[in-house]
C-alpha cells in the first residue's frame, strides 16, 4: 500500500528516529492505533480517521472497544491480553465499527509495545480494511456454488486444451471425475473423427469469439457416444488477453429423441392423411360405379364415420381404439337407445388402427341400414351387439330382432360390400350375413392377433 502523496509529510527535518518512525505511522495507508495494555487508545493515525470516520481527539483516551461490536468484546479482550503478554497476533480477520455503526471487515495485527527495558507498556494495532476482498471472495464462492450445482457441465481449459476445472455435472454427463480430467487434454472426450472440431473451437476462442450451442457427439468414460450441445467462450485475463476457454456442456439426448419422435410422427401423419384421402377417393368411386349418381348425404355420413374413428385414435395417442368406444362412437346418432334397445356386451379389447377402421366402417353401415330398414326403423326393434375372445379367435355379432319384417336385399351396394368383403379381408376372417324375417344377423370371426396388437391377453 502507498500513502497518498498529499497526505505524506515532508522528509522529517530532524534525524531523530522516533520522529521519523512517527511520520511513517502518521502517513501509513493502513490504520494504526496504539493502546495501553488495558485497551485505552493512545494514538490514532490519519488512516484510522479515514477508515472509522472519527478524529484523534475524539478517540484518544477512549477504550478500543468503542470500535468493536459488542458481541466481539470478549474475544477482543482475550486477544488484547495475549498481545499484552508479549505474543503478537497476526492478521486475524474480524469486524470493526465505523462512526455510523457500519461494520468494517478487517484484518488486524496486534503487536506488543515495549519500553527500553523490554516491558510491555501497550499494544499496537494495524487494521486493514478487507471488505472489498471479502466481497470478492463471497462473489467467487457464489459463482463456484452456482457452477457446482448447475445441471450443465462446466469445464475450463487452457488454449492448448488442457482441462483446468471440471464441475460435478461434467462428471455426471461425461462419466469422468474431476481427478480423471484435471491437467488432461479435453481431446480425451472427443471421438477420433471429430478431433478437427477441437482445432476449430480453440481457433474460434483464440480469436475472441463464442461458439454457441454447437450440437455434437462426445465419448463418455464407458465408451458410449452421447449427444451434447456445447457453448465455448474465451476466458480473458485482467489485461483482456484470451488465456483459456470455458465450456458449457449440455446433454441433449432427450431433446434429440423428442425431435426424432416428432419426425416419425410427422411421417406417420403424412402417410395416414394421404391414405385417408385415397380411401375417400375409393369410397366416392365405389359409390358412383355403373353411372350411379353420388348420394352426397350418404357420402358425407361415411366421411363423418371415418372422422369419428380418427378422434378416438388421437385420444389414445394413435396407438389403438377400445372396441367399446368404437361401437358407441359409430352409434352416436342412437345414443339414447344404448343400454335400452341397443345392448352392447363384450370384454375390453384394444383394436389396432387398421382393424378399427374396418370394423368402425362396418358398424356405421350396419347402423345406417338398421335405421332405414331394420330394428331401428320402428319403435320396438332391438339390437344385440356383442363380442368374445376365445382360443385365439375373436368373434363379433350384430343381431337385430323386433324390427319390420325384412327380406334379403335384391342388389349388393357399397354398404353391403363394406360389411362383408371389406371387413373380412381387412381382418383375415369370415363374415356371415343372414336375413331371416326377424331381423339381420351379422357375424364376424377372425384371429385375435389380426385386430389387436397385444395378442389374446390384453386388458382382461
Residues that bind other proteins (CB under 8 A): 267, 270-275, 277-283, 285-286, 289, 352-354, 357-358, 361, 417-418, 421-423, 425-426, 428
As a whole number of angstroms, the distance between CA 270 and CA 273 comes to 5
Q: CB of residue 321 vs other proteins: minimum separation in angstroms?
A: 14
> How do 342-345 and 382-390 pair as beta strands?
parallel
Helix (H, G, I), strand (E, B) or coil at 390: strand
C-alpha cell at 183: 491437467
Which of 236/274 has CB closer to other proteins?
Answer: 274
Nearer to other proteins, 381 or 415 (CB): 415
The nearest distance, CB 283 to other proteins, in angstroms, is 7
> Least Å distance between CB 267 and other proteins?
5
Q: Which residue lies nearer to other proteins by CB, 131 or 270?
A: 270
Closer CB to other proteins, 278 or 378, in the complex: 278
Q: Which is nearer to other proteins, 123 or 423 (CB)?
A: 423
CB of 368 to other proteins, least distance (A): 16
- Report the C-alpha gap between 367 and 372 in whole angstroms: 9
Q: How many helices (H) and strands (E) does the chain have?
A: 14, 17
Closer residue to other proteins, CB minimum distance, 245 or 305? 305
CA-based end-to-end distance of the chain: 85
Q: Which is nearer to other proteins, 174 or 361 (CB)?
A: 361
Nearer to other proteins, 366 or 375 (CB): 366
Residue 110 CA to residue 79 CA, distance in Å, equals 8
Q: How far is the CB of 277 from other proteins (least distance, A)?
A: 5
CB of 207 to other proteins, least distance (A): 38
Does the CA dihedral 17-23-24-26 come out positive or negative?
positive
- DSSP readout, 296-348? HHHHHHHHHHHHHHHHHHHHTTTT-EEHHHHHHHHTGGGGGGBTTTEEEE---
CB nearer to other proteins: give 164 or 416.
416
Q: What is the DSSP string of 166-206?
A: E-HHHHHHH---HHHHTTSBGGGGS-GGGHHHHHHHHHHHH
What backbone phi and psi angles, to 5 degrees, belong to 64? Answer: -60, -20
The nearest distance, CB 433 to other proteins, in angstroms, is: 16
Q: Is 392 helix (H, G, I), strand (E, B) or coil?
A: coil
Question: Sign of the CA dihedral 72, 75, 81, 85?
Answer: negative
Q: For other proteins, which is the closer residue by CB, 272 or 324?
A: 272
Distance of CA 273 to the CA centre of its chain: 33
CB of 235 to other proteins, least distance (A): 43
Using DSSP's 3-state secondary structure scheme, residue 160 falls into coil
CB of 423 to other proteins, least distance (A): 8
d(CA 359, CA 385): 13
- Tell me the closest approach of the beta carbon of residue 278 to other proteins, in angstroms: 4
Amino acid at each position: 500500500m502507498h500513502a497518498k502523496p498529499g497526505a505524506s509529510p515532508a522528509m522529517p527535518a530532524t534525524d531523530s528516529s522516533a520522529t521519523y518512525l512517527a511520520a511513517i505511522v502518521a502517513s501509513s495507508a493502513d490504520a494504526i492505533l496504539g493502546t495501553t495494555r488495558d485497551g485505552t487508545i493512545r494514538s490514532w493515525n490519519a488512516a484510522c480517521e479515514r477508515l472509522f470516520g472519527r478524529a484523534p481527539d475524539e478517540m484518544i483516551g477512549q477504550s478500543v472497544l468503542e470500535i468493536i461490536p459488542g458481541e466481539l468484546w470478549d474475544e477482543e479482550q482475550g486477544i488484547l491480553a495475549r498481545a499484552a503478554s508479549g505474543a503478537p497476533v497476526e492478521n486475524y480477520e474480524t469486524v470493526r465499527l465505523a462512526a455510523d455503526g457500519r461494520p468494517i471487515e478487517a484484518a488486524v495485527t496486534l503487536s506488543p509495545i515495549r519500553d527500553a527495558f523490554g516491558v510491555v507498556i501497550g499494544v499496537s494495532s494495524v487494521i486493514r480494511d478487507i471488505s472489498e476482498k471479502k466481497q470478492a471472495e463471497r462473489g467467487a464462492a457464489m459463482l463456484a456454488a452456482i457452477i457446482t450445482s448447475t445441471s450443465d457441465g462446466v469445464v475450463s481449459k487452457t488454449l492448448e486444451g488442457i482441462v483446468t476445472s471440471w464441475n460435478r455435472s461434467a462428471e455426471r454427463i461425461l462419466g469422468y471425475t474431476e481427478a480423471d480430467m484435471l491437467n488432461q487434454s479435453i481431446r480425451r472426450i472427443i471421438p477420433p473423427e471429430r478431433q478437427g472440431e477441437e482445432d476449430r473451437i480453440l481457433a474460434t476462442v483464440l480469436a475472441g469469439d463464442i461458439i454457441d450451442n454447437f450440437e455434437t457427439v462426445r465419448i463418455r468414460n464407458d465408451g458410449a457416444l452421447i449427444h451434447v450441445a456445447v457453448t465455448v467462450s474465451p476466458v480473458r485475463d485482467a489485461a483482456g488477453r484470451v488465456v483459456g476457454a470455458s465450456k458449457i456442456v449440455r446433454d441433449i439426448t432427450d431433446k434429440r429423441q423428442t425431435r426424432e419422435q416428432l419426425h416419425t410422427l410427422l411421417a406417420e401423419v403424412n402417410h395416414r392423411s394421404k391414405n385417408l384421402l385415397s380411401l375417400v377417393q375409393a369410397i366416392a368411386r365405389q359409390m358412383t360405379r355403373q353411372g350411379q349418381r353420388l348420394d352426397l348425404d350418404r357420402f358425407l355420413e361415411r366421411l363423418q364415420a371415418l372422422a369419428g374413428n380418427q378422434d378416438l385414435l388421437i385420444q389414445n395417442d394413435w396407438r389403438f381404439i377400445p372396441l367399446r368406444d368404437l361401437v358407441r362412437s359409430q352409434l352416436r346418432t342412437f345414443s339414447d337407445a344404448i343400454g335400452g334397445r341397443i345392448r352392447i356386451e363384450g370384454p375390453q379389447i384394444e383394436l389396432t388402427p387398421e382393424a378399427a377402421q374396418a370394423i368402425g366402417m362396418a358398424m356405421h353401415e350396419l347402423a345406417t341400414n338398421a335405421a332405414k330398414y331394420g330394428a331401428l326403423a320402428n319403435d320396438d326393434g332391438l339390437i344385440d351387439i356383442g363380442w368374445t375372445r376365445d382360443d385365439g379367435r375373436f368373434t363379433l355379432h350384430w343381431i337385430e330382432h323386433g324390427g319390420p319384417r325384412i327380406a334379403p336385399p335384391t342388389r349388393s351396394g357399397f354398404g353391403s360390400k363394406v360389411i362383408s368383403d371389406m371387413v373380412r379381408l381387412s381382418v383375415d376372417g369370415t363374415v356371415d350375413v343372414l336375413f331371416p324375417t326377424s331381423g339381420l344377423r351379422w357375424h364376424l370371426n377372425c384371429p385375435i392377433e389380426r385386430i389387436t396388437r397385444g395378442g389374446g391377453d390384453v386388458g382382461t
